Structure 1
Amino acid sequence: MSFVEIDVFGVYVAPIVPMMLAAVLVTLAFRWVAVSVGLFRWVWHPALFEFSVFLIVLAAMVLTVGILKLNL
């Protein structure tokens, strides 16, 4: 996997930053669904669960982007 920096108005940003922002949005959407369904009633530590979901989503995004860049 090779990631390159992203040029944002002359400032180089690490490629993990946009992936982290996307992972936060996906996690917030998951949290909204989980609260409306009532999933957090069954979770022992909701903050730890939410952080774990964020890490899983972020890792999946990093692996997906890495694999797609290798196959292009």
Structure 2
Amino acid sequence: MWKETDIGGVFMAPILAYMLVALIIYLLLRPILVWLRFARWSWHTPLAETGLYICILSLLLMLF
């Protein structure tokens, strides 16, 4: 697990770094979801995409 990061004298929690990495992974995955027409398979697309982001974040937290 990562430790706190010091940015300009302010300690940042490690969860922020995990959230940033999860966001980058999600943004790289998004064009693939558009190509697969993910919106057609979901009832509420923003809710499904948020759930996917949370799954990616949870996976990162469990693995690292």
Percentage of matched positions with identical amino acids: 31
* Structure 2: runs of 5 or more not aligned: none
* Structure 1: runs of 5 or more not aligned: 66-72
Structure number with bigger Rg: 1
Question: What RMSD over aligned residues (CA atoms) do the two structures have, in Å?
Answer: 1.5
Give the SS at the match of 2:57. helix
Normalising by structure 1, what TM-score?
0.76
Equivalenced residue count is 64
Higher relative contact order, chain-length normalized (CA < 8 Å, sep 6+)? 1
Normalising by structure 2, what TM-score?
0.84
Runs (4+) of structure 1 moved beyond 3 Å? Answer: none
